[in-house]
Amino acid sequence: MTQGGKLYVEGRDDKWTIVNLLQRHGVDMTTRPLEVCSIDETMEGAAGVEALLEFLPDAVRASLDAPIGFILDIDTELSDRWAAVRARLMSAGLEPPANCPREGYVARLPEYPHPAGVWLMPDCRSDHGTLEDFLQRLIPAEEAELWAHARAATGDAVQIGAEFPSSAVRKAELHCWLAWQRVPGTPFGLALKARFLGHDSPEALALLGWLRRVFDL
């Protein structure tokens, strides 16, 4: 197993989602097979996808001794997000394809011994996709009725003045559903650890496959 790789993500929800997903799949994170870092922990004052994009080229070029990976939300049209990622990869010396690979991007700089990779949440293919779309697909089948009720209740809240932006609807729905679990208000990563969420949706297995390719887990 390759030791010491680094995976950079947008925020702490992303970080602990990945850590606990890997542990649910039997990866012992105490042996530090990779370090998962949110951009706000890495760069003071930085936050979100734009900061991670700006960080990407220098981080790839500096990754001489270990694999490196990046997970970003699609958030917008897939083609637009991939174009932004591709431009940064090219400035780092890589030659990514014109379209986002459906299995996630993995490549090596010619003079570097380790891979660099990019995964776009939730599945490298869904326009406007986010971490929350990934997590929604981990809700157990037996929770379908409660999940539908959480979505309806969130919609009702909008009608009576709830002020979260439309871009955060899925996040609001998930937090509503989590508020009704055995431990109300559990954060996303801990919800995976507590098994309120599953771990083996098609998207989760595809992400796991990409992580194994990049980091030799």
- Give 117-141 as a DSSP string: EEEEETTSS-TT--HHHHHHTTS-G
Identify whether residues 148 and 71 lie together within a single domain.
no
91 and 118 belong to one structural domain: yes
Q: Taking the chain, what is the end-to-end CA distance rounded to the nearest angstrom?
A: 6
Decide if 97 is inside a domain: yes
- Within a domain: 68: yes
Q: What is the pLDDT of residue 109?
A: 87
Flag whether 40 is in a domain.
yes
Name the band, by pLDDT with cuts 50, 70 and 90, for residue 45: low
The answer to whether 184 and 175 are in contact (CB under 8 A) is: no
Mean pLDDT, the chain, whole residue set: 94
In a 13 Å sphere around the CA of 71, the CA atoms on its Cβ side amount to 29
Domain span including residue 155: 140-186
Model confidence pLDDT, tens digit, residues 127-163: 999 999 999 999 999 999 999 999 999 999 999 999 9
pLDDT band, very low/low/confident/very high, at 118 (cuts 50, 70, 90)? very high
pLDDT tens string 84-99: 999 999 999 999 999 9
Q: Give 46's pLDDT tier (boundaries 50, 70, 90).
A: low
Q: Is it the case that residue 44 has pLDDT exceeding 70?
A: no
Q: How many domains does the chain have?
A: 2
State how far the Cα of 34 lies from the Cα of 170, in Å rounded to an integer: 29
**Residue 55 and residue 80 share a domain:** yes
Q: Which whole number is the average pLDDT over 201-207?
A: 98
pLDDT of residue 3: 54
Residue 98: predicted pLDDT: 97
* pLDDT of 76: 96
Rounded to whole angstroms, the maximal C-alpha distance in the chain is 58
194 lies in some domain: no
Residues 43 and 108 in one domain: yes
- pLDDT tens by residue, 13-29: 999 999 999 999 999 88
User: For 95-111, what is each residue's pLDDT tens digit?
Assistant: 999 999 999 999 998 88
Residue 2 reports pLDDT greater than 60: no
Contact 89, 115 (CB under 8 A): no
Quick check: 171 pLDDT over 80?
A: yes
- Residue 193 forms part of a structural domain: no
Q: DSSP code of 10?
A: S
Write the CB contacts of 149 (distance below 8 Å, at least 6 apart in sequence). none
Cis amide linkage into residue 67, ω under 30° from 0: no
Lowest-pLDDT range, 71-75, 103-107, 109-113, 201-205? 109-113
Residue 43 sits at φ, ψ, to 5 deg, of -125, 115
Task: Establish if 156 belongs to a structural domain.
Answer: yes
Q: Is 166 exposed, middle or buried (0-12, 13-18, 19+ CB in 10 A)?
A: exposed
Q: ∠ CA(206), CA(103), CA(28), 5° rounding?
A: 40
What's the rounded Cα separation, in Å, for the pair 203 and 134? 7
pTM greater than 0.85: yes
- What whole-number distance in Å separates Cα of residue 125 and Cα of residue 57? 23
Strand locations in the chain (E): 5-9, 34-38, 68-73, 105-107, 116-121
